[in-house]
Structure 1
Amino acid sequence: MAESASKAAPGERVVIGITFGNSNSSIAHTVDDKAEVIANEDGDRQIPTILSYVDGDEYYGQQAKNFLVRNPKNTVAYFRDILGQDFKSVDPTHNHASAHPQEAGDNVVFTIKDKAEEDAEPSTLTVSEIATRYLRRLVGAASEYLGKKVTSAVITIPTNFTEKQKAALIAAAAAADLEVLQLISEPAAAVLAYDARPEATISDKIIVVADLGGSRSDVTVLASRSGMYTILATVHDYEYHGIALDKVLIDHFSKEFLKKNPGAKDPRENPRSLAKLRLEAESTKRALSRSTNASFSVESLIDGLDFASTINRLRYETIARTVFEGFNRLVESAVKKAGLDPLDVDEVIMSGGTSNTPRIAANFRYIFPESTRILAPSTDPSALNPSELQARGAALQASLIQEHHHHHH
C-alpha cells in the first residue's frame, strides 16, 4: 500500500474514496460513518472513464461516452489499465473504437485534437496526462458536491496492479493536485463496504469477491480473521466481462436487422453503426437486469435505415449462456486455486457493474451450498449495489485514515 507526500495538513484535509475503473469510475464520501456515492454534475454515480474533446472543450463521463459515435478519434477510453505499462504490454482490443494507444519512447500516448483552433496541431498526450485530466474532473465533481475543495483520496486498484502502475497512478493524482492517502485493493474495498455496516458482525469467514466489470473480471478469495483480510487466491480474466455480454446482444440484433432488411450492409462492419449498436446494447442489457423485457432501437443504423426490436430476459439468458458459464468457471477456478471447496465459502460478494445481472447471481447460487450467502441485489435483499461497493469501501478507509491522523496530531 503506497502513500504520497501530504499536501494539506491532516486537520485541513477533505477526503473522498475513488474507484478509478477501466470502464467506469465513482466517487464517495462518508457522512456520520456511513458511505455515500456522490453523483456528478450530470447526475451519474457510475461515471464512464472516458474523456472527449470537441472544439477545445473537454467532456468526461457519460457525455464523453456519447461522443464515441460522432467523435471517436478525439475520445480516450479504456486507459486505466494502460497506466504505468510499456507499450508492448498494452492490449489495445478495447481501444479500436476510440483514440488508439501509440508508442513514444517509454511512454504510451494518444494523439487527439484538444484545442479549439481549427488549424491547431493535434496534441500528443501521455496516458498519465489523460489519467490526470480525468481524475481532475472526478475531484472537481466531488468538490462541487461537497462545497469544499477535495484534497485527498483513497483510490481502489486491481490486485494485479504492478509497483510501476501504482507509482504512475500516485503521480497522475499528484499532478491533479490530489493527495493519495492509500491505494486499496478492489476486493478489500468491497469487503469493507459490507463489514463497516452497523448491522455487520465481524466473524472469521472465507469470502469470494466476484468483481465483474466492463472489460475485465477479477475473482478474489479472502480469509477474514478478526477483521484482518488475507488474500488466498486471485484470478484475472479479460474474456468474460460486460463487453462480452454487449457483444451477444449486438450480434443478436444485427442478425435480426439483416433478416428484416435483405441486401442491407452489416452494421457491425461500419465503425459508426457499430458504435451506435454498442451504446444501445449496453443500455438494453442494463434494462434487462431491472425488468424482464427491454427494447432495442437505433435511429439511422446504417444507410438511413432505422431499427427497433425487443427482447425478453429469458431469450437474453439463452443467447448469453456461454458468457454466463465463463463467469461460473472463473469463480470455481478461484476457489480451487485457493485450495478450497465451495462448501468452505461463507459469502460471495458480487461487485462491479456486471454483477447487477440477476442470472449471474442465480448461477452462483447453484455453485455454492445453501449456507453460503450470495450478496447480490437479486439474491439477498440486504445486498448493497455492486456498482457502489468499491467507492464506498474506499471512502470508509479514507475517513478512517483521516480520523486516525486527526487523533494523533
Structure 2
Amino acid sequence: MSYKNLAVQKKIAVVFSAIGLVMIAFAFFLLQELNKVESEVINFTDSTVPSVLSVEDVYFEMNAYRRNQYAALTYQEKDLPNLLALLSKQEAQIQSDLDAYEATVASADERRVFERVANSWQKYLTQLKEFNGLVANKKAKLAQQELVDSFSQFEEVGTAMDGLLQANLVFVSNNRKSIMGSVNNVTLATKVSFSALIAFMIFITFFLARQICRPLNLVVEQSKAIAAGDLTFELRRSEIGNDELGALADTNIEMQHQLRILIEDTISAVTQLSAAVEEMSAISEQSSRGMQQQQSDITMVAAAMEEMKATVAEVANNTETASTSALEASEEAKQGNQDVQSNIEQIQIVSRDIEQAGELVEELERESNNISV
C-alpha cells in the first residue's frame, strides 16, 4: 500500500516514526562517540596521568635515596642504623614502583625507554653495592669516593627518567589530541545531525502538508463550486488517496451526482406540470365554452317552454269557452261534454307537467350559472 492511500493518522504516525528513528540513530551515534570520549578520558585519568605522576614519584625517590646516601656520610654512629634501614626501605620501594610501572607499559617505545631506566638504575645500585657496608664500617672516605664515582651513572639514571617522563608527556599529548578529536567529532556530528534533522523535519512538514492539505483544498474547491450552483465541476480524484480525505471526496462526488439527478428530475417534473397546467387551461376553456353553449340551449328551451305554456293556457281558455258552450248545449251534446271533460283533465295533467318542466329548466339555469361562476 502506497503512502498516499494510508489513513491520515497512519500518515502522521509514519512521519513521527521516521523522525523518531532519525533521532534514535543520532542518539546511538552520539552515545558511541561519547563512549569513545569516556574511554579516552578514563585512559587519560587512570593510565596516562598516573604514569606521569609515577615517573615523577620514582625520580623523586631516587633523588631522595641519593641525598640520604650523602647524609649517611655525616651521620653519627648511633643514627646510622636507622638511616641504613631507611636506605634499604627506599631501595625496595623504588624497585616496587619500577615493577608496578612495568606492568602498565603498553607500547614498544615506552618499554625501550623503561628498560633503559631499569638498567641504568640497576647499574647504579651495582656500582654502590659496597656503600652501606663501608658506611657501617666507618669507612666514610671510601663510601664518599663510591658516591663520587657513581655520579655519572646517576646522571644516566636521570637522563633515562627524563626520557621516560617525555614519553609519558607524549602520551598525554596524544591522549589530549584523541580526546579533543572525539569531542570535535561529537560536536561536528551534533551540528550536522541537528541540521539534517531540521532539514528533514522541514521536508516532512511540507510533504505531510501536501499529503493532507492538497487533497483537502481540492475537496473544499469542489464544495465551493457546488455551493455556487456549479454541478459540472470535476474533482481531480486521482490526486487524492484512498484515505479519509478520499472518502470525503467520494462523498462529495456522490452528493454532486445526486443533486444533479434531483435537479434534472425537478426540471422534468416542472415541465410536465407546466404542460398539465396548459392542458388543464385548455380543458377549462373548452368546458367554459360548453357551459356557455349549454346555458344558451337551456335559455332557448326555457323560452320554448314559456311559449308552450302560453299556448296551453290559450288552449285551456278555449276549452273552457267550449265547455261553457257545451253546458248550454248539454242536452244536445252530452257525449261531447264528456269528451271535453276528459280533454280538460288531460290538459291539466299536461299543464302540471309543463310547470314541472319549467321549474326543472329554472333549476338547470341556476346550476348552469353556478358552474359558469
Q: TM-score, with normalisation over the residues of structure 2?
A: 0.17
Higher helix fraction (1 or 2) = 2
Which structure carries more strand by proportion? 1
Could you state the TM-score of these two structures normalised by the residue count of structure 1?
0.16
Give the structure with higher Rg (CA).
2
